[in-house]
Chain A
Amino acid sequence: MSALPDRPPGTACPSAIPALSHLLGVTLLGHWRGNLGRVLLSVLGIALGVAMGLAVELIHQVAVDDFAHSARRLSGQADLVLRGDGVGFPEALYPRLVADARVAAASPGVEATLTLPGRSESLKVLGLDPFRARALNQPGQAWLGGAAAAGMDRFSLLDPDAIALTEAAAGALGLAPGDSLPARAGTGSVRLRVVAVLPGAAGRHGLMDIAGAQWLFGEPGRIHRLDLRLAPGVDRDLFARELLAGLPPGVRVEAPEAPGSRAAEASRAYRVNLGVLAGIALFTGLFLVFTTQWLSVLRRRPQFALLRTLGATRGQLRTLLLTEAGLLGLLGAGLGAALGVGLAAAGLAALGGDLGAGYFAGLAPELRVPPGTLAAYLALGVGAALVGAWLPAREAARMSPARGLRPGDAETWLRGWQRPGPGLLLLGLGAALPFAPPLAGIPVFAYAAIALLILGAAALLPWLLARLGGRLPRPAGALSGLALARLTGAPGQAALAVAAIVVSVALVTAMAVMVTSFRDSVEAWLHQVLRADVYARSGRAEGSGYLDAAAQARLAALPGVAAAEFLRHRKLHLDPARPPVDLMARPISPATAGTVLPLREVLDAPLHPGTAPAWVSEAGRDLHGWRLGERFELPLGDARAAFTVAGVWRDYGRQHGTAVIDLAHYRRLTGDAAVNDAALWVTGMPAEAVARQLRQEFGPGLEVRLPGEVRRLSLAAFDRSFAVTYALEAVAVLVGLFGVSAVFSAQSLVRRAEFGVLRHLGMTRRQVGGMIAAEAALLALAGILTGALAGLAASLVLVAVVNPQSFHWSMDLRLPAGQLALFYAALLVLAALTALASSRAAMRGEAVLAAREE
């Protein structure tokens, strides 16, 4: 054998990069030009995923940051804040601390929520001593400045009916200095005067003189917070520990930024949940890239084989395909980032910082786009595209050039997919992971289990098609026989075509079952808790409205009222790092608890000595460890009261834990005779008539509702809070349908020659169309069945693990069979029509001659 000739002098081996860019130019641009629609669908899939994720992240980031910033601003330059629950603590604590040499300055404050009759929103009000607040640079400083700027007498701010509003609050309420603001005080009404609008103050707040606020909220002599600036050199933590030891029960010492952390903690599960939903949209986008890249690789096998034959290395081919996917991802991520910023702005404007979930009330956040977040989501989009393209790129690089040049060898190449091992492994992992505990309160493993169950089902599909399809009797009809033969004879390609359907169906099934189970459980719960004929509410916990003893007596004595039951709401901070728990005091005993509350667990043992019974919510049990029969304490009055958990109940009204105790016992412990709500049983006249009487008697100071109305409003609120969930789910389904369309159209092109042969053999266009539609329907059916099973498994994880771990709400499993059947049927028809439309395009013009093309 003769030696190869030497390279001519002066020529070097071409470097890899120009060679690669040449390959890219030759193979990629041509492919993109010829497949523009499918390429755009992939880009759009990634774009939607990135857009939804980025929008949710930006909104939440802004909300959490602004809330923390706002909380910090309210404390000015304070080092520590003493806080009390609901009824606060005696203001006598203030002079005691001012006298402490370690305290350089102190500012007392009253915090409550002003109930505004006739308005859906309420207003957080902070009552401060403006001159003390100035020492700590609290908003009182701006308050005084604002008044001076408006040419007002500073002392007019001290009037008990004077209120200053932040710019955001004035804007939201449509008020200007000089306007009056009607508010509820007890069961009566007051008119506050807007004396100033504070420019630059964060959040939606009102500021009042502390004395006026104490009068308004009916709590003279009590304060809710005491902001402290420590003398130089005092160890903050040590001082806090020493201070705490001498404080009355229910008073805590915390850093000024603690409310921000608590709000972030309170909304964390919700934010993670929405983030995961947005991630699902990106996941379906990734799947779209995966299927379209596979199909494009299948279609371009001869090209790649030729490139390999001509000397392109495996690495070059792999890099080529990954670069192609990376470019697609970059395009999609860029588009998605722009869309996401727009969506975030629209979401903030329409739904607020918590997307309607109610975690960040009193906040008016403005959109900011941190470059780091933007870069992270761009990287995520590119990463998703690369992950989606990795397997097709690897397989293309591994392919033997000789095989690639052989026509009709595509299914042989996908033969490995018919192994059940990987699918079973994914399903096994998916079945095991839900049993793992949550990580930092987030059901990370359960979310991973859902992804694995869906992926496992999709991975098992080729094996199922080959196994089960092979056992089905071959129909006698030529068309149906051909359709079934294709399905079972090319299970790899069939599974590729139907993977998008599996993912979409699984997601929709899982979400639909979860939402229906949740909604039906909420409806049943409302039915059980709303037993009275008329409900009256003067205000929420920590609100300015309440019913005093006289008002309660007037209510009970109204004509037609056969019985009245009163309820006191309080917020109790048990753990500075966590949101407060709800205390509900109402007439209840172990004998009546079963009818009053939807109990899930009931104690059948005696109470601990010296304790009273308490019935706690599932969140209370999970978050605070209040297990059935256990003893626990609550800071009530000036002492810590002891209780035994006598039952655990389902509470969809509150998320961070609720304890129900007997009202009479509560009054004995606290001396607090006020209540927030009244439930009335009516006799001798319609409930509507009693409701009318109540409205006449108490005016706008009392919110009166019939149970039907409460149910309707509650379910409307439920639907509103799931609006974002529905929107994100719709995006995931849309991306899935893109996949169906992209896959069928790509397959029609791949199969052009096959269609041409069938036309040569005497099949009419209609028959070929019918065969393709039948094939698509069969494929879709297989995908729907697989997806439905995976979705049902995923819904079990959502209902039994994700919801209890995230929100501490159990629910009864309900299957929305009718809705799902309708969705499946629509998808079946849509898949058949999409396939038909795609094949028509492929058969148009000279397609019948494609049989000669090879």
Chain B
Amino acid sequence: MSAALVEARGLAKAYPGPVPRTVLRGVDLMLGAGEFVAVMGESGAGKSTLLNLLAGLDTPDAGRVAFDGRDLGGLDDDARTLLRRHEMGFVFQAFHLLPHLTAAENIILPLALNGWPAAERAARAAGMLAAVGLAERAAAYPRELSGGETQRVAVARALAHRPRLLLADEPTGNLDAANAVQVMALIARQVGEQGCAALLVTHSERAAARADRVLRLTPDGLGPA
């Protein structure tokens, strides 16, 4: 296994309420650079919470997360945001392309945020669109795309700025079987080509089968499926 890009130790998280609900307890995870890991689990097992903690979008009640050796708990919100901007890409179940931007503009967005020069942005967006098989749909708005096409653009957006970590939360959850297969193949191929690590949270056995390693999240922690 390659050196750890993401290292989580003893993560615990509970949500307050009249009866506090513990969703994660004693979770450990090592994710190597270039490694593709799938996390499966029952609904409510805490898969999305785990993803949030790894991305620095939420803070654990106990335990620590390190990215490339840097403890996320020691970073303020801005520093965690910058880390996300440079190093991570996200794919969501609900696609979440910005509706008022075209497919190409959606892909350019993380590049612009990362300060890429305008000419390079356009070239990279065109390259990514070609890579996901949508070169001719550059000027289309999200409302003009099918579900599968929309998620392919979302994958292109997530990987356009060459992040070292891709976090995908149920990326096939809103897709039919054929599109789900296509999108998972795309994610696997792009991750392989770009050499980035990927953590996939899914219910789908077929989607998980694309990963190098499949883990299962249970109330007792994270372990091999």
Contact = CB atoms under 8 A, between A and B. Distances in A.
Contacts of B92: 757, 760, 851-852
Nearest to A764: B81
Contact of B98 (A410, A754, A759, A765): A754
B78 interface: yes
B100 A489 contact: yes
B82 interface: yes
Contacts of A490: 99-100
Contacts of B110: 761-762
Contacts of A852: 48, 92-94, 169
Contacts of A440: none
Interface in B167-191: 169
Name the 10 nearest CB pairs between A and B, nearest first.
A762-B85, A489-B100, A478-B112, A854-B94, A757-B96, A408-B99, A764-B81, A760-B90, A762-B84, A490-B100
B75 interface: no
Interface in A805-854: 848-849, 851-852, 854
Interface stretch (A18-26, A480-488, A664-672): A480-488
B3 interface: no
Contacts of B61: none
A485 B78 contact: no
Contact of A851 (B81, B82, B96): B96
Contacts of A411: 99-100, 143
Binding site of A, secondary structure by majority: helix, strand, loop or mixed?
A: helix
B129 to A, nearest CB: 18
A851 B51 CA distance: 13
Nearest to B150: A408
A754 B97 CA distance: 8
Contacts, number: 91
A753 B94 contact: yes
A192 B48 CA distance: 93
Given A489-B141, A753-B94, A852-B169, A760 B57 contact: yes
B86 A849 contact: no
Given A753-B96, A851-B94, 11 more contacts: A408-B142, A478-B112, A481-B112, A485-B98, A753-B94, A757-B92, A759-B57, A762-B84, A851-B96, A852-B48, A852-B92
A485 B169 contact: no
Interface string B92-121: 111011111100010001101110001000
Interface in A380-424: 407-412
Interface string A730-771: 000000000000000000000001101101111111100000
Contacts of B78: 764, 766
Interface of A: 407-412, 476-478, 481-482, 485-486, 488-490, 753-754, 756-757, 759-766, 848-849, 851-852, 854
B55 interface: yes
A481 B122 CA distance: 14
A478 B109 contact: yes
A485 B142 CA distance: 14
A410 B157 CA distance: 23
26 contacts: A411-B99, A477-B112, A478-B112, A482-B101, A482-B109, A485-B100, A489-B99, A489-B100, A757-B96, A759-B81, A760-B55, A760-B84, A760-B90, A761-B84, A761-B85, A761-B109, A762-B81, A762-B88, A762-B110, A763-B81, A763-B85, A849-B57, A849-B58, A852-B93, A852-B94, A854-B93
Nearest to B105: A485
B52 interface: yes
A762 B113 contact: yes
B110 to A, nearest CB: 5
B42 interface: no
Contacts of A757: 90, 92, 96, 98
B71 interface: no
Contacts of B157: 761
B119 to A, nearest CB: 11
Contacts of B100: 411, 485-486, 488-490
Contacts of A753: 94, 96
A765 B96 contact: no
A408 B100 CA distance: 10
Interface string B152-170: 0000010000000000010
A407 B151 CA distance: 14
Interface residues of B, number: 35
Contacts of B141: 489
B57 A762 contact: no
A172 to B, nearest CB: 65
B200 to A, nearest CB: 15
A849 B57 CA distance: 8
Contacts of B55: 760
A490 B114 CA distance: 25
A770 to B, nearest CB: 12
A756 B52 CA distance: 12
Interface string B47-62: 0100010010110000
B103 to A, nearest CB: 13
Contacts of A482: 98, 101, 109
B77 interface: yes
A408 B143 contact: yes
Interface string B130-152: 00000000000111000000000
Given A482-B109, A486-B100, A852-B48, A765 B94 contact: no
A410 B90 CA distance: 24
Contacts of B88: 762
Contacts of B105: 485
Given A489-B100, A761-B109, A763-B81, A407 B94 contact: yes
A432 to B, nearest CB: 37
Nearest to B100: A489
Contacts of B85: 761-763
Contact of A489 (B52, B82, B86, B101): B101
Contact of A412 (B114, B118, B143, B169): B143
A259 B118 CA distance: 79
Nearest to B112: A478
Contact of A485 (B93, B97, B101, B114): B101
Contacts of A477: 112
A288 to B, nearest CB: 25
A849 B52 CA distance: 8
Given A412-B143, A761-B110, A476 B90 contact: no
Interface string B3-29: 000000000000000000000000000
Max count, chain A CB within 10 A of own CB: residue among B81, B85, B94: B81
A762 B99 contact: no
Contacts of A765: 77, 81
A848 B57 CA distance: 7
Contacts of A759: 57, 81
B164 to A, nearest CB: 13
A489 B157 CA distance: 19
Contact of A761 (B48, B77, B113, B169): B113
A488 B77 CA distance: 31
Contacts of B142: 408
B216 to A, nearest CB: 21
B90 A763 contact: no
Contacts of A481: 112
Max count, chain A CB within 10 A of own CB: residue among B57, B85, B92, B96: B96
Contacts of A754: 96, 98
Contacts of A762: 81-82, 84-86, 88, 110, 113-114
A476 B57 contact: no
B113 A409 contact: no
Contacts of A760: 55, 57, 84, 90, 92
